[in-house]
Amino acid sequence: MHIQFLGTSAGRPTKSRNVTSAAFVHSEPSNGFWLFDAGEGTQQQMFGTKLKLNKLDKIFISHLHGDHIYGLPGLLSSRSYFDGAGPLVMYGPPGLRAFIDGVFLHSGTYLEYELTITEIGPGVIMDDGQYKVTANELVHRLPSYGYRIEESEQSGHLDLEQLRRRGVEPGPEYGKLKRGENVILPSGELIRSTDVVGPPIPGRIVTILGDTCPCDNAVELAKNADLLVHEATFESGMEEKALAYGHSTVRQAAQIAAKAGAKQLALTHFSSRYDDEAVAELIADGQQLFPNMLAAYDYLEVPVPRTSV
């Protein structure tokens, strides 16, 4: 599991940064990915990655500002040309359906796959047994949402040495034991799953926030997250301007991560006024409050490792 950033600039693209988009890549079981926001040029950015549109099955939109959605019409249309592109579900705030329907109506666009658009409110918006996604409102000039992705806990590791000693050969019995089922050997010996399977492995938590001022819902969505992706449009000292435009400074993002108990913070959505050198200085400043912080840049991949047990 990892996050790959496709655009990390705020408002408009620069020579080195495209506007907002990030892919949540989950290699199991489908080797697929989800997209969070799709600013102008997102599908073009994907040519520099291993991501393929026929592996995309969900899109989550934070809000309807152009730098987060103007790439959607072209991306959705192009997906029709990919073999094996199955149904696609898109989540976002009210107004998303009208935007897509209007563009497709007036451009004569027809999709070769089923597209479902779900306009969301606060709460759990999906749970497929492997991942649960919770959305909540943030504070911005338009209705803006953050998303919390929670992975289900995984079965513990098999005690292979004990199984070998007890004469259990690799095969279907291993799967049964992993699923919590007991196994009776041909000799009549009972192998209890609880004796040979370790404790469950906690699921990972990834929080991806849309544009926002600091708020309680941001902290709640990011609580104990393994990775928090937070906007950082402005530098410290520009809190008044950040508030006026519905954004956050680097230090404010660091404070949210610290309050939430997040393990790692990836900052994105940097104002075009900052070049790479300036961004590095902003990060150094923010690390005084939250050391495990990094600046996202286009094509960066941030892994989300499992917690050791």
- The residue type found at 243 is L
Which residue segments constitute the domains of the chain, with CATH numbers given? 2-154+200-303 (3.60.15.10), 160-196 (no CATH)
Q: Are 222 and 148 in contact (CB under 8 A)?
A: yes
Binding residue numbers for Zn(2+): 63, 65, 67-68, 140, 211, 269
Binding residue numbers: 63, 65, 67-68, 140, 211, 269
Dist CA 19 CA 16 (whole Å): 10
- 0.75 surpassed by pTM: yes
Of all helices (H) and strands (E), which one includes residue 97? helix 96-107
Q: Which residue has the tokens 């104990």?
A: 224
Six-digit token pair at 55? 């592996």
Q: Give me the catalytic one of 37, 57, 67, 285.
A: 67
Dist CA 35 CA 37 (whole Å): 6
Each residue's pLDDT, cut to its tens digit, for the chain (309 residues) gives 999 999 999 999 999 999 999 999 986 656 699 999 999 999 999 999 999 999 999 999 999 999 999 999 999 999 999 999 999 999 999 999 999 999 999 999 999 999 999 999 999 999 999 999 999 999 999 999 999 999 998 888 888 888 888 888 888 888 888 888 888 888 888 888 888 888 888 999 999 999 999 999 999 999 999 999 999 999 999 999 999 999 999 999 999 999 999 999 999 999 999 999 999 999 999 999 999 999 999 999 999 998 765
CA atoms within 13 A on the CB side of 24: 24
DSSP 8-state secondary structure symbol assigned to residue 54: G
Of all helices (H) and strands (E), which one includes residue 251? helix 250-260
Dist CA 197 CA 121 (whole Å): 40
Dist CA 276 CA 298 (whole Å): 12
Dist CA 6 CA 36 (whole Å): 10
Dist CA 237 CA 46 (whole Å): 35
Give the model's pLDDT for residue 24: 97
Q: Are 11 and 39 in contact (CB under 8 A)?
A: no
Phi, psi of 66 (to 5 degrees): -60, -35
Give the model's pLDDT for residue 28: 62
DSSP characters over 257-280: HHHHT-S-EEEE-B-TT--HHHHH
Dist CA 70 CA 68 (whole Å): 6
Using alpha carbons only, give the angle 262, 268, 269 rounded to the nearest 5 degrees.
135
67 counts as catalytic: yes
